[in-house]
Amino acid sequence: MKFTQVSQYLPVLALVFGYAYPQTSGNAPSADDPAVQEHLKRRTALISEEKLQRQGMSNNHYSDSPTQSSYIPGAKSKADHDFRSTLSPVAQQAEAIVGAIRQYEIENFWRKPAGIELEDNERFAGEMFANAKPLIPSTKLWGIVSRMPKGSLLHVHSSAILQFETIFNILLETEGIVITASQDVSTVLSAENATLAFSHVSDFAADPKVANVSIESPYYVPGTKVPVTYAAESFSGGRSAFIDFLMTKVAVTRDEVLRHDLGVDEIWRKFQSCFDPAGSTMTYEPVIRKTYQSVFNAWVDDGITWVELRSGGSAKLVPEGEDTVNPDLDFWIHVLLDELQKFQATEKGKGLWGVRIIWADFRGLESSRLLSNMEKAIERKQHFPDLFSGYDVVAQEDLGRTLLDLAPELLWFQNRTQALNITYPFFFHAGETLGDGNSTDDNLFDALLFDSRRIGHGFSLYKHPLLLEQYVEKNILVEVCPISNEVLRLSTDILHHPIPAMIAHGVPTAISNDDPAILGEDSAGLSFDFYQIIQGFDNIGLGGLGALAQNSIRWSNFVDQSQEEWIRDIDLGLNGTGIKAQRLKQWQEKWETYCQWIVEEYADWNATLIVNH
């Protein structure tokens, strides 16, 4: 082929392969031509202008020396843009290094085309979490993200806080634990259909229902209580196979989460079926005590300093050495507070500022039962004013009662707490749906009108321009749970998640993990969710991740506050005078130390930066 012939195809080749081709006839201007430069100038200006709209439009209404007294309501300064434009030099350098590492891994670790007929080996950055999860821990980016100070965990449900393997091991080490099955698990079908439960028997010999019989035996009589150690030993494959089997009952499996073709309701049925067996693992006092210690440790290890736990307040526990529940609704709360105090008295425990509870009722309850639960919620708040933080209704939003339908009960609750002079704000799940304009999606309107201080998920919020504006205006933060949303089939993977739209519209967001032990994260911390976010979106970067962590503290409900005080302290951020500002400062110090660590640990990436630029 002669050169002239080749040059004919160069434009096409350039399109396909993306390389610059030599100028032959001078048709196109060179890159430094004023016309090209002019285009570049306008392009840069346009991108910067758009970035101004990201969380924090910098329309600060503060005077030169902002103090509480110079505060003007409505000022907005919500991280992302503001946080990132004021990064310290060290943080900027850390951000550049992390950006280079991420890009390197996208190209060299993740981008792995599979051979023909080996499609399952295809690998790419941002792929489905269930496929990426075993690979993530071997990346450098994971090493970085897992050490990050994450701030507050604002959205997590108490039945799914700790990986069940740890809990099963605690059960196996605890004397007197038995397992019962609704049917024997001798066939594939019966194993799939059986429901399991754990309980405590103080004297095996005295209980006629206790027997050493394998749950895999066709002679297993439903309801027979098998000592859990015997059940494990007698299980084919032994203890580890037994634990694997138990896992299928309390958590979604990899195969299940990949089946997006089966839709939202199908995965929710499996998800809901996990709660009873999962809950039964945590009904015996010594087990729950150890579980709390494990999870507090795991949170601190992951850089989490504050937790707001959604919990059905009616949980009842079997006291140590006994076989029946203590009917006192305060019992489990004493146990929780006791363990928290013990943990916080240790050196490591200083890293956990505390835990509060958002009382969470099942949204399917009919009116009289819901009202009676609300009474209990108010009573607990009166007994433990520091512990109870807010109120929510939970379970599948699509199939449960809508906030509109619940309006009479919710208004009753508001009225009642007001009359009692109790601060009990709402933190609703809202917009956890694929709907657009149906009754589930409309919960986003009700949550706003009920002054929900934050909302859980807000997955459908990005479709509503007016609501986006008003959520920004009213300082309502969205607790985004990216992996939960993916596993529950709202987004097929992180790349299809709407969080970039929320951030770009200026809506405050923070990252949470929702039900990490049930929804396949199999870990107590936030690192996987943080990893997904920084891995998925070029617009985030280390600075954006830091902004999300800072938001989580800014929107933490550390102490009871009136609506006005709540908004004021969010607006003032670091410049406030209360506990929130104090903790934001503490986080900021950790953040700077962390950035310094990145710069030192990954110093050899400094050279790469120069080459890449």
Ligand X SMILES: *[C@@H]1O[C@H](CO)[C@@H](O)[C@H](O)[C@H]1NC(C)=O
Residue 514 binding: pick among ligand X, Zn ion, none (C-beta 5-8 Å cut-off by kind): Zn ion
Rule CB under 6 A: say whether 562 interacts with ligand X: no
Beta strands (DSSP E) in 395-498 are 427-430, 454-457, 477-480
Residues in CB range of 610: below 8 A, 6 or more apart: none
Residue 77 binding: pick among Zn ion, ligand X, none (C-beta 5-8 Å cut-off by kind): ligand X
Minimum CB distance to Zn ion smaller for 425 or for 456: 456
User: What is the per-residue binding string for Zn ion in 289-318, x denoting contact by CB under 5 A?
Assistant: ------------------------------
Over its C-alpha atoms, the chain yields an Rg (Å, rounded) of: 27
Rule CB under 6 A: say whether 77 interacts with ligand X: yes
Number of H helices, E strands in the chain: 25, 11
Residue 229 binding: pick among ligand X, Zn ion, none (C-beta 5-8 Å cut-off by kind): ligand X
Subset of 14-53 contacting Zn ion (CB under 5 A): none
Rule CB under 6 A: say whether 411 interacts with ligand X: yes
Q: At residue 372, what are phi and psi to the nearest 5 degrees?
A: -65, -35
Residue 193 binding: pick among ligand X, Zn ion, none (C-beta 5-8 Å cut-off by kind): ligand X
Minimum CB distance to ligand X smaller for 3 or for 219: 219
Rule CB under 6 A: say whether 63 interacts with ligand X: no
Residue 56 binding: pick among Zn ion, ligand X, none (C-beta 5-8 Å cut-off by kind): none
Size of the site for Zn ion (CB under 5 A): 2
Stretch that binds Zn ion, among 13-21, 449-457, 541-549, 594-602 (CB under 5 A): 449-457
Among 419, 466, 564, 604, binds ligand X (CB under 6 A): 419
Subset of 534-573 contacting Zn ion (CB under 5 A): none
Buried/exposed 339-375: b ≥16 CB within 10 Å, e otherwise: bbeebbeeeebebbbebbbbbbbebebeeeebbebbe
User: What is the per-residue binding string for ligand X in 422-451, x denoting contact by CB under 6 A?
Assistant: -----------xxx--xxx-----------
Subset of 236-265 contacting Zn ion (CB under 5 A): none
Distance CA 406, CA 361 (A): 12
Subset of 240-279 contacting ligand X (CB under 6 A): 264
Rule CB under 6 A: say whether 412 interacts with ligand X: yes
Q: Are 274 and 518 in contact, with CB atoms under 8 Å apart?
A: yes
CB of 230 to ligand X, least distance (A): 4
Q: Which of 151, 130, 154 lies closest to 545 in space, CA to CA?
A: 151
Residues in CB range of 30: below 8 A, 6 or more apart: 23, 36
CB of 155 to Zn ion, least distance (A): 6
Distance CA 531, CA 516 (A): 14
Residues in CB range of 462: below 8 A, 6 or more apart: 468, 498, 501, 502, 505
CB of 59 to ligand X, least distance (A): 11
Stretch that binds Zn ion, among 289-297, 442-450, 511-519, 532-540 (CB under 5 A): 511-519
Return the number of other C-beta atoms located less than 10 Å from residue 462's C-beta. Answer: 20
Subset of 563-582 contacting ligand X (CB under 6 A): 572-575
Residue 398 binding: pick among Zn ion, ligand X, none (C-beta 5-8 Å cut-off by kind): ligand X
Q: Which H helix or E strand runs over 132?
A: helix 129-132
CB of 277 to Zn ion, least distance (A): 19
Residue 280 binding: pick among Zn ion, ligand X, none (C-beta 5-8 Å cut-off by kind): none
CB of 429 to Zn ion, least distance (A): 6
Rule CB under 6 A: say whether 551 interacts with ligand X: no
Structure tokens at 122: 């295809």
Looking at residue 357, the DSSP 8-state letter turns out to be E
Minimum CB distance to Zn ion smaller for 286 or for 456: 456
**Mode of pairing for the β-strands spanning 509-511 and 354-362:** unpaired
Q: At residue 476, what are phi and psi to the nearest 5 degrees?
A: -90, 120
Q: Are 598 and 147 in contact, with CB atoms under 8 Å apart?
A: no
Distance CA 314, CA 359 (A): 9
User: What is the per-residue binding string for ligand X in 147-186, x denoting contact by CB under 6 A?
Assistant: -----------------------------------xx---
Rule CB under 5 A: say whether 361 interacts with Zn ion: no
Return the number of other C-beta atoms located less than 10 Å from residue 466's C-beta. Answer: 9
Taken in order 103, 104, 109, 113, the sign of the CA dihedral is positive
Structure tokens at 229: 């150690």
Rule CB under 5 A: say whether 514 interacts with Zn ion: yes
Distance CA 333, CA 320 (A): 15
Rule CB under 5 A: say whether 339 interacts with Zn ion: no
Binding site for Zn ion (CB under 5 A): 456, 514
Enumerate binding residues for ligand X (CB under 6 A). 60, 62, 66, 77, 93, 96, 182-183, 189-190, 193, 212, 227, 229-230, 233, 264, 398, 411-412, 415, 419, 421, 433-435, 438-440, 572-575, 606, 609-610
